[in-house]
Amino acid sequence: MNAEKERQFREFVEARSLHLRRAAYALCGDIHAAEDLVQGALVKLVRRWHKVDDPERYVRRIIYHDHASRWRRRAKIREDPVEDTPERGQRDAAADVNLRLDLRQALLRLAPRQRAVLVLRFYHDLPERDIADTLNCSVGTVRSQTHRALARLRELAPELDAHYPDDLPATEEASA
């Protein structure tokens, strides 16, 4: 890698690594696993840096695919992570800590694919087509998984509806 490409890669890592770690944490619920996912994805990225047009999209896709590979391997072993802070030393913008913890626990109880769809949709604010590309599935699958995941979240944490009625569409709506 020439000096210019290396500088560009370092700038990308400095600018986006915190965001990527937070997204990975939202996906897997474990800060150490999130750091491992991001580090592994960045290692894969640096090998192909000269060929990748959209590095963030490439890394995001690797993170979600590697996470899916991990939960497939450990499907027989169920681990519940202990409650710990996602980032030490970072100021948290959320006012209601209990609500965030409820949401976190509810997300961790979703199926991994449903959790991935919600993280991509509501954390990354990606359109359905990009989510489908990232997860290597159809747009219809993204829609149905989103619909089912939101319905399951309502079952697991009904108090979220009271706080975020506009963010979570009603389960009676048809997912078109």
Q: What is the pLDDT of residues 5-54, one digit of tens each?
A: 889 999 999 999 999 999 999 888 889 999 999 999 999 999 999 899 89
pLDDT of residue 101: 78
pLDDT of residue 2: 87
DSSP string, the chain: --HHHHHHHHHHHHHHHHHHHHHHHHHHS-HHHHHHHHHHHHHHHHHTTTT-S-HHHHHHHHHHHHHHHHHHHTTT----PPP--SSTTPPP--S-HHHHHHHHHHHHTS-HHHHHHHIIIIIS---HHHHHHHHTS-HHHHHHHHHHHHHHHHHH-THHHHH-TTTS--TTS---
Stronger pLDDT, 78 or 29, i.e. the higher one: 29
Is pLDDT at 139 greater than 90 in this prediction? yes
pLDDT of residue 96: 60
Residue-wise pLDDT tens digits, 80-110:
666 665 555 554 444 467 777 778 888 888 9
Going from the N-terminus, what domains does the chain have, and what CATH number goes with each?
1-82 (no CATH), 96-176 (1.10.10.10)
pLDDT of residue 128: 94
